[in-house]
Amino acid sequence: MSQFIIQGGRKLSGAITTNSSKNAAVALLTASILNKGVSELLNFPRIQETNRIIEVLSSLGFKFSWPSAHHLKIMPPARIRLDKINRQAAAKTRIILLFIGALIHDFARFNLPQAGGCTLGKRSVNPHFFALEEFGIKSKINRCSYSISRGQLKAVKNLVLYESGDTVTENALLVAAKIPAVTTIKFASANYQVQDLCYFLKGLGVKISGIGTTTLTVTGKKLIKKNLKYYLTEDPIESMFFIAIAATTNSSIVIKRCPIDFLELELLKLQKMGFKFNIIRQYKAKNGHSRLVDLETYPSTLTALEDKIYGRPYPGLNIDNLPFFVPIATQARGRTFIHDWAFENRAIYSTEFNKLGAAVTLNDQHRFYIDGPTPLKPADITAPPALRPGAVLIVGMLAARGTSVLRNIYSIERGYEDLSSRLKKIGAHIEKSE
């Protein structure tokens, strides 16, 4: 098992750049199934999660090449070999659910391995199945697989999503993209990865209006065959990771290429806690749509917010950014109340910070208090089997004076590329060992 060895308690300095989004990358990889032409994804993250999807697509007959380190070229097969699917790779990621919306246009009946990914309690697939059935798709959950079947696919004039989920919205978009009629998706997610998927599909000739809102109107194309190059935008969750490091270690660093539209509320909450920062540059992402900024952080004296901190679908505080308030709150004067309602078990992982000397009190599986400030101390911890709860432990260990070990870091490497080398550039003492 790979591990990080971290010598913490040091002030950090210098500049670090935000990479592109894991969540957008896996959605666009899946969307490339729709395209009978060549799809090229630039600014592409090379991480464990994208590796798993590439392994699955390779088993189906797709060919891949790398013109440069982060430029991925995807060439479709003459015939998709679903019978050859790499079941082991497919079962390791929850994104396999998106293959339903992408493959349903080529196959009237098929099975997929049940989804894996983060272990965060029961993550119901019902919202997906409720949306898919409106298009005429039948879904059944077996012990180890999903059985999918359909007759004639139909557009949906008024598709109301059961929940405003990112992957649920993406699945509906993938189905609607190749139905040559108008589908209207209501209560859609407007989050960053959904917007990237919409812009990618528009590049393929699908008509989509309402991008960035909760109502999407899609006019699909029966045949999508176009050679397309698309730049992925940067990941606001990774930007928040670096912001949390700066706030928790009380450091002055420059964080480049932050997608500000998806960080403004987080930064406002932090500002009210006393966190000091300044936006030093604003510009457009290479995809021509996202607004990026470079921001500089400064040493700050933090105070707990009086009201609770909780996540919401965009434009609320991002549910994936919520865990980063845990290490920050350990350094804030007063009591912080965090409500992690979206997952049954993720709040429980916050108690791992007690091993680092924090004062975390768990109310129930969704709610907990953090009393601060507390000096953090080193510890030897096995990372939780979930991406964000694992990543926040790195933040805490960087602030803890002494040598910490974080074991079994596969869940973290699902979402972060070459993390130890990048953190070293801002002065972190972190080594990866096998």
The answer to whether the beta carbons of residues 226 and 205 sit under 8 Å apart is yes
Q: What is the full DSSP assignment across 300-352?
A: --EE--SS-EE--STTSS-TTTGGGHHHHHHTEEEEEEEE--SSSSGGGGGGG
pLDDT at position 120, please? 43
Q: Which one of 98-107, 112-121, 123-132 scores highest in mean pLDDT?
A: 98-107
Multiple choice CATH, 22-231, 3.65.10.10, 1.25.60.10, 1.10.510.10, 3.30.450.20: 3.65.10.10
CA atoms within 13 A on the CB side of 390: 24
Tokens 């991002």 belong to which residue? 318
pLDDT at position 8, please? 98
Q: What is the full DSSP assignment across 377-402?
A: ---EEEPPSSHHHHHHHHHHHHHSSE
Here the contacts of 131-140 (C-beta below 8 Å, separation 24 or greater) are 131/159, 131/161, 131/162, 131/168, 131/171, 131/172, 132/100, 132/101, 132/104, 132/171, 132/172, 132/175, 134/159, 135/104, 135/172, 135/175, 135/176, 135/179, 137/100, 137/104, 137/175, 139/100
* Check whether domain 3-19+234-433 has CATH 3.65.10.10, yes or no: yes
Q: What is the mean pLDDT of residues 15-31?
A: 97
| Cα separation, 340 vs 135, whole angstroms | 33
Contact partners, residue 79, CB within 8 Å, separation at least 6: 61
| Cα separation, 60 vs 76, whole angstroms | 9
Tens digits of residue pLDDT in 198-248:
999 999 999 999 999 999 999 999 999 999 999 999 999 999 999 999 999
Tens digits of residue pLDDT in 254-270:
999 999 999 999 999 99
> How many other CB atoms are found less than 10 A from the CB of residue 38?
17
Question: What is the percentage of the chain residues whose pLDDT exceeds 70?
Answer: 98
Instruction: Give the range among 50-64, 72-86, 138-152, 355-369 with minimum mean pLDDT.
Output: 138-152
Tens digits of residue pLDDT in 74-115:
999 999 999 999 999 998 888 999 999 999 999 999 999 987
Q: Domain spans of the chain?
A: 3-19+234-433, 22-231
| Both tokens assigned to 329 | 């709150």
| Cα separation, 85 vs 228, whole angstroms | 25
pLDDT at position 434, please? 86
Closest to 240 measured CA to CA, from 360, 358, 416, 378: 416
Q: What is the mean pLDDT of residues 291-300?
A: 98
pLDDT at position 116, please? 60
Closest to 277 measured CA to CA, from 292, 262, 267, 269: 267
| Cα separation, 196 vs 29, whole angstroms | 12
| Both tokens assigned to 283 | 């510009």
Tokens 């009190």 belong to which residue? 361
**Global pTM exceeds 0.75:** yes
Q: What is the full DSSP assignment across 138-149?
A: EEEE-SSEEEEE
Look up residue 366 and give its DSSP letter: S
Same topology, domains 3-19+234-433 and 22-231? Answer is yes
- In three-state secondary structure terms, 75 is strand
